[in-house]
Amino acid sequence: MCGIFAYCNFLVEKDRKTICDILTAGLSRLEYRGYDSAGIGIDGDKPGDVILYKEVGKVSGLKKLISEGSSDPSKTFVSQASIAHTRWATHGQPSTRNCHPLRSDPKHEFIVVHNGIVTNSGELRLVLQKRGFVFESETDTEAVAVLCKYIWDSQPSQRITFTSLVKAVLKELEGSFAFVFKSVHFPNEIVTARRGSPLLIGVKTEKKLKVDFVDVEFPSVGDNEKALDTLAPPSESGLLAPPAATSAGGKIFRSQSRAFMSEDGMPQPIEFFIASDASAVIEHTKRVLYLEDDDIAHVAEGELHIHRLRKDDGQLSAVRAIETLEIELAEIMKGKFDHFMQKEIYEQPESVINTMRGRVNFDTQTVTLGGLRAYLPLIRRGRRIVFSACGTSYHSCLATRAIFEELTEIPVSVELASDFLDRKTPIFRDDVCVFVSQSGETADTILAMRYCIERGALCVGVVNTVGSTISRESHCGIHINAGPEIGVASTKAYTSQYIALIMMAIVLSEDRTSMNERRKQIIDGLHELPAQIKAVLQNDKLFQQLASETLHDSRSLLIMGRGFQYATCLEGALKIKEISYMHSEGILAGELKHGPLALIDENMPVIIIMTRDALFPKVQSALSQITARKGQPIIICNEGDESIPKNAKTIQVPKTVDCLQGLLNIIPLQLLSYHLAILNGFDVDFPRNLAKSVTVE
């Protein structure tokens, strides 16, 4: 999602132009992550001054803005700290005021860059506004910057350290994040923290480091919890009580870090590069340190100190190793992957977690969708639910139609947006219309939404892009939170849309006690899903072998299934058409003898989905019809299913709840399409004639 980069030099002379070039180059290396705006925060000409440059659009536009700025590019800094960010909107549409770094106040006392989502930012914002603070943006991050100032202002007599202040802030936050903090009160210092979002620190020195690790520092024995509690004791509201000054007993033990000691005991020139991933630092240094969850890193006076947010549970090492990157810059723009599509397929264990994060409580087996909360009574009273989408998004709607009807007992229809408009479909005021689009800018889907709005229907948007047309114009909605998807063929957005719609069905049925057990069954299945997706991905070599030995020379491919798996067949066939340019057709197994059976012989490649559910016996019948015509299908089945013929070629996947099984069954088809395209020498990420966001009819 967002990209973080920060640069801190100590006893290394750099002029402002060079510093800005380092920052913008770092952001350029993070462009592949996807973003809609970019910004930097640097020191001004006078002590205590901070300059922010922000631009919606590309990093190249930010560079132009900096070059046209009024700051002196030749001003030299022996020591300084600066931060930079590329933003993928999750709270607030892309705009200069929502672009990072976010400031605490007009004097820039604290500025922050952030990757992730603060799920309780609304509550924090409300409490801070009641205390007189004014907000400038729509972002969740600004609440963190303002909270820094609130805690600082609450300590007029005895100032706390930068690290202690950040600890007090983090204790109030819920969600996943990686932060970098900069403050005029702590010149030339940076504090970073992470929980759930990656962050690394590159180290560059002329001399060899004395040791290849950094000690993790803890509060003195017995004072860990006490020290933290005194910073933010609970208030009557449960939020943001003014912190008391840190007691002497709770001071952080701080020694000189052994890694940065010089032979003569004198400070040595050093540079630190903080980034979301290695692509941004590899051109500067190959010596990097990866932060763990709940690590807080403090860079000051040429030293790096790492603290823990909470009392250590003994599971993590007491040191953080400084590692040497063995890869070159050209190799890591896509991480360890050859293509963005491959990377995005492998990101699905994490992207499905991000879709559920802060929404599914596995302890209480409940689902909360904040974007729909106010409209749930209206949706439940609707006469029917009409889904409208295109391409892969249409398939995600089709995949979840049956569970919507089962849980809500409301009639559901799924429409291709272009056909929906062509037919001038009757829409009524008590209809609920759901519009699904990865980009939120799909032209046909937008026109279908406007058609429904004109007729008084309640319109719900399900998108992956905050600030998109659908997210702005719909009455309410769900952000799927899959992160940027660069490959034209949608992979992780499909699984995230699928899960978002499953969650919506669960929430809508909460007033039906007869569905309690079914809801709990599905939520338990969601809990197991990320690990099961990882298990499927581990069989990639088998999928590659099937592609090269069985399917590579074919000109056509039929994919069959029924029930929940019909949508999987359509989506798998679409992927194969999109990137391998092979004709492929998804067929409802129940329709086999009504025409498609004429195509079956020993030369026609077939994939049939036979994972266990209520319709399994009917799919067995379809398999018998195929084999009777000398067909030799590849069978997607559950692990250990002994009813599958022993001589059949199989793709085995873990078993899950019937309505979630399609999330596991689609992974092999995504990877088969990828390998077929590679074998044919096609551009996987940018297939011919196709665009990522279809903004014309």
* Catalytically annotated residues: 2
Burial (CB < 10 A; 0-12, 13-18, 19+), residue 290, is middle
DSSP structural state of residue 279: G
Q: Residue 593 — φ and ψ, nearest 5°?
A: -80, 5
Crossing angle of helices 492-508 and 391-408, in 10° steps, is 20
Q: Does this chain's domain 3-335 share its CATH topology with 539-697? A: no
Q: Answer yes or no: are the C-beta atoms of 635 and 608 closer than 8 Å.
A: yes
DSSP structural state of residue 375: G
Token output for 51: 């300059």
Token output for 672: 């088969």
Residues linked to residue 357 through DSSP beta bridges, in sequence order: none
Which string of DSSP letters, residue by residue, matches 117-180?
Answer: EETTHHHHHHHHHHTT----SS-SHHHHHHHHHHHHHT-SSSPPPHHHHHHHHHTT--EEEEEE
Q: Three-class SS of residue 490?
A: coil
One-letter identity of residue 175: G
Q: Which residues of 570-586 are buried (b: 16+ CB within 10 A; e: fewer)?
A: bbbbbbbbbbbebebbb
One-letter identity of residue 236: E
The model's pTM: 0.66
Q: Which CATH number fits domain 539-697: 3.40.50.10490, 3.60.21.10, 3.90.950.20, 3.40.50.300?
A: 3.40.50.10490
Alpha-helical segments (H) within 194-279: 224-231
- The Cα–Cα gap between 340 and 334 comes to 6
Name 316's Cβ contacts closer than 8 Å, sequence gap at least 6: 216, 292
DSSP structural state of residue 551: I
- The secondary structure element, H or E, covering residue 608 is strand 606-609
Strands (E) located in 422-569 = 431-437, 458-463, 476-479, 556-561
β-pairing, 295-300 vs 360-361, is: unpaired
Give, rounded to a whole angstrom, the gap between the first and last alpha carbons of the chain: 29
Q: How many CB atoms neighbour CB 395 within 10 A? A: 30
One-letter identity of residue 179: F
Q: Three-class SS of residue 289?
A: strand
59-63, Cβ contacts within 8 angstroms, sequence gap of 24 or more: 59/24, 59/27, 59/28, 59/31, 59/86, 62/24, 62/27, 62/38, 63/24
Which string of DSSP letters, residue by residue, matches 28-75?
Answer: HHTGGG--SEEEEEEE-SSTT-EEEEEEES-HHHHHHHHHTSSS-TT-
How do residues 81-101 score in pLDDT, each as one tens digit? 999 999 877 777 788 899 999
Q: How far is CA 116 from CA 113, 350, 482, 557, 625, in A?
A: 10, 13, 11, 41, 51
Alpha-helical segments (H) within 388-515: 391-408, 417-422, 443-454, 469-473, 492-508
- C-alpha dihedral (189, 201, 482, 578), degrees to nearest 10: 140
What is the architecture of the domain spanning 3-335? 4-Layer Sandwich (3.60)
Q: Residue 8 — φ and ψ, nearest 5°?
A: -135, 120
In this prediction, residue 242 carries a pLDDT of: 46
Q: How far is CA 130 from CA 76, 118, 125, 156, 317, in A?
A: 42, 19, 9, 20, 42
- The Cα–Cα gap between 144 and 170 comes to 9
Strands (E) located in 65-109 = 76-77, 80-87, 102-103
In this prediction, residue 559 carries a pLDDT of: 97
Q: Answer yes or no: are the C-beta atoms of 560 and 609 closer than 8 Å.
A: yes
- The Cα–Cα gap between 348 and 499 comes to 12
- The Cα–Cα gap between 496 and 389 comes to 15
From the first residue on, what is the mean pLDDT of each consecutive set of 10 residues in the chain (697 residues)?
89 94 91 80 91 92 91 92 89 86 94 90 93 92 95 82 94 89 96 87 86 76 40 42 42 53 73 89 90 90 88 68 72 74 94 93 94 94 96 97 96 96 95 94 91 96 84 92 85 97 97 94 97 97 94 93 97 96 95 92 94 94 92 94 90 97 98 96 85 55
- The Cα–Cα gap between 269 and 196 comes to 32
Q: Three-class SS of residue 283?
A: coil
- The Cα–Cα gap between 651 and 637 comes to 6
Domain definitions of the chain by residue range: 3-335, 337-536, 539-697
Which superfamily does 337-536 belong to?
A: Glucose-6-phosphate isomerase like protein; domain 1 (3.40.50.10490)
In this prediction, residue 466 carries a pLDDT of: 72
- The Cα–Cα gap between 349 and 537 comes to 9
Name 39's Cβ contacts closer than 8 Å, sequence gap at least 6: 52, 53, 54, 55, 62, 84, 85, 87, 99, 100, 101
Q: Answer yes or no: are the C-beta atoms of 161 and 191 closer than 8 Å.
A: no
Q: Answer yes or no: are the C-beta atoms of 479 and 472 closer than 8 Å.
A: no
